[in-house]
């Protein structure tokens, strides 16, 4: 009978050498873009390095499964960012030419949108919508309640949940 002792974590350079090509190939097959796949593969190993440095890297009995999990999360984030960027560009395209912000202003606004998206990530959709309508459109709770087909009391609960979430994420 063998002891089920976790194997010591592999050296990061060994992990990279043995699995980076495989991970990049997997990402390339999902993306169809070798350059973005290479970037996401590198980002995966940066995350692994950060986990190792913070002593939060789990023992890796199945390193590919772990790398795949991290890589999938980065892939989802990539698609979310691309979708957000496209929605932003579509909104900009609706503006009269005189109101189109400069390239620098567009970049700053997109970065702010992305930070807001990350901040609100994890909130239920109705809570997220209520929070955004209140903050970005200045809607009162009654108007939000009407849009969501819920009571104003529920909107008040949603807002408290959103504020609490924002405070906890910032800690």
Q: Over the stretch 109-164, which tens digit does the pLDDT of each residue have? A: 888 888 888 888 889 999 999 998 998 888 999 999 999 999 999 999 999 999 99
**For position 36, what pLDDT does the model report?**
94
**For position 8, what pLDDT does the model report?**
47
**For position 171, what pLDDT does the model report?**
64
Cα–Cα distance, 49 to 12 (Å, whole number): 7
Smallest CA-to-CA distance from 71 within 17, 30, 111, 121 is with 30
Domain boundaries for CATH 1.10.10 within the chain: 122-171
Cα–Cα distance, 76 to 4 (Å, whole number): 34
Q: Is CATH 1.10.10 what the domain over 122-171 is classified as, yes or no? A: yes
CA-based Rg of the chain, rounded to a whole angstrom?
21
Q: Give the confidence band of 91 by pLDDT, cuts at 50, 70, 90.
A: confident
Residue 105 CA, distance from chain mean position:
22
Judge contact between 41 and 75, C-beta under 8 A.
no
The position carrying tokens 């002593």 is 55
């Amino acid at each position: 009978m063998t002891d089920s002792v976790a194997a010591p974590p592999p050296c990061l350079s060994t992990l990279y050498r043995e699995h980076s090509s495989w991970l990049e190939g997997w990402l390339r097959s999902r993306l169809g873009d070798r350059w973005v796949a290479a970037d996401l593969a590198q980002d995966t190993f940066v995350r692994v390095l950060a986990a190792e440095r913070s002593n939060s890297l789990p023992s890796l009995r199945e390193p590919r499964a772990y790398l795949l999990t991290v890589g999938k999360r980065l892939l989802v984030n990539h698609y979310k960012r691309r979708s957000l960027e496209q929605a932003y560009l579509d909104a900009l395209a609706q503006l009269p030419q005189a109101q189109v912000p400069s390239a620098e202003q567009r970049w700053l606004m997109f970065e702010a949108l992305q930070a807001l998206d990350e901040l609100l990530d994890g909130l239920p959709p109705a809570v997220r919508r209520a929070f955004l309508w209140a903050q970005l459109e200045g809607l009162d709770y009654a108007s939000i309640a009407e849009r969501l087909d819920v009571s104003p009391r529920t909107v008040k609960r949603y807002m408290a949940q959103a504020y609490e979430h924002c405070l906890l994420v910032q800690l």
